[in-house]
Amino acid sequence: MRFHYTFPFVLTISVVFLTLILSGCASRSTISKKPAKKMPVVKHPVKKTLPRKGHVLVLEYHKVVKKEARWDRSIDRFCKDLHLLYDQGFRPITMSEYISGNFDSYSVVQKGNWWEPPVMHFLERPAIKGIPPGTKPVVITFDDSHPSQLRLLADGSVDPDCAVGIWERFAAKHPDFPVKATFYVLPEMMWGQKKWRHQKLRILKDWGCELGSHTMNHSNLQHLSNEQVKKEFAHSIRFIEKLGFTANTIALPYGVAPRNRYLLRGFKLDGKWYGFKAAVLGGAGPAPLPSSKRFEPFRIPRVQGINGFLGINYWLRKVKYGKLRIYTTSKTRPL
């Protein structure tokens, strides 16, 4: 009797179990047959002199304010970051310089002509291209164009307590660490103080900083249709163009790429071509050299300007103790 009650039960369980296994295998095999949707390999005009091995630090900051928080860097710690970077031999480059690999050719170009009176503040500053021999490249990026990054005082001078102001003071004492940042801006924010926008942009341009796209509305791109993503990209590229800059790169909001990642490379909208040369993510490690086989231009990792695990101090400690090899320009290269 016992056999008659249990057999159908065992049989049913076995059939259900077997069906589950088979369906699982079947679905897995169908997935594996599909070609993996990978981004095509982009050939960059990277200098052949660059080695394949070695890393570059791409730092990510948001707000620079009095008190340290998850996404905020305190003024004190930002100042310390600059000192630490400088002491370990880092020198700033822009995101465009990094992806082109052209940070290797150091040169100082005096702006303006000798017959022009130095009445304009920006004419007096030399433009520094690349980084000096024997130093390490660092890309310092700021997301969201929060007012704490760049604020002007009533007289039009840079507030010494905003990120750019802190860096400007540091650069005055360390001329080989000029203010050279990449700002991933949001049109709605643009550091506030609308009346000073033009002046701020002129200062940044003069110092060799660059702007990049952070989209128009900071939406999670996974949740948008292709048409919406195209508008987010194209409108922000056009916005930055109107400010007199070129948006070569984009910082993906929340580090999330659109469902159709090919849109990052380029697309046509209203008869015009739009696209980026590279995209940066939210974290959480050093980036390979653009000459490396592991370099993926649309998945460039960044290191967050925070304390703790995988933050700036974590990686700088590794550099200090020789556990992370950051690319260093040749010491013997002639100036």
Q: For binding to Zn ion (CB under 5 A), which residues are involved?
A: 143-144
Q: How far apart are CA 63 and CA 45, in angstroms?
A: 34
Q: Are 56 and 140 in contact, with CB atoms under 8 Å apart?
A: no
CB of 264 to Zn ion, least distance (A): 16
Q: How far apart are CA 228 and CA 246, in angstroms?
A: 21
Q: Which is nearer to Zn ion, 116 or 188 (CB)?
A: 188
Q: Output phi, psi for 287, to 5 deg.
A: -100, 150
Q: How many CB atoms lie within 10 A of CB 41?
A: 10
CB of 286 to Zn ion, least distance (A): 21
Q: Which is nearer to Zn ion, 104 or 144 (CB)?
A: 144
DSSP strand E in 15-133: where? 55-61, 63-65, 72-74, 90-93, 107-109, 127-129
CA 314, chain centre distance (Å): 18
CB of 254 to Zn ion, least distance (A): 7
Residue type, 213: S
Q: How far apart are CA 100 and CA 114, in angstroms?
A: 31
Q: Which is nearer to Zn ion, 143 or 232 (CB)?
A: 143
Q: Which is nearer to Zn ion, 81 or 143 (CB)?
A: 143
CB of 184 to Zn ion, least distance (A): 7
Q: Which is nearer to Zn ion, 247 or 319 (CB)?
A: 247
Q: Which is nearer to Zn ion, 278 or 289 (CB)?
A: 278
Q: Which is nearer to Zn ion, 72 or 144 (CB)?
A: 144
Q: Which is nearer to Zn ion, 64 or 131 (CB)?
A: 64
How open is the CA angle 215-216-218, to the nearest 5 degrees? 65
Q: Which among 184, 244, 210, 201 has a CA at the least distance from the CA of 94?
A: 210
CB of 285 to Zn ion, least distance (A): 19
CB of 215 to Zn ion, least distance (A): 9
Residue number with the smallest Cβ distance to Zn ion: 143
CB of 236 to Zn ion, least distance (A): 12
DSSP 179-234: ---EEEE-TTTTTS-GGGHHHHHHHHHHHT-EEEE--SS---GGGS-HHHHHHHHH
Rounded (10°) CA dihedral 150, 153, 157, 158: -20
CB of 143 to Zn ion, least distance (A): 4
Q: How many CB atoms lie within 10 A of CB 294?
A: 10
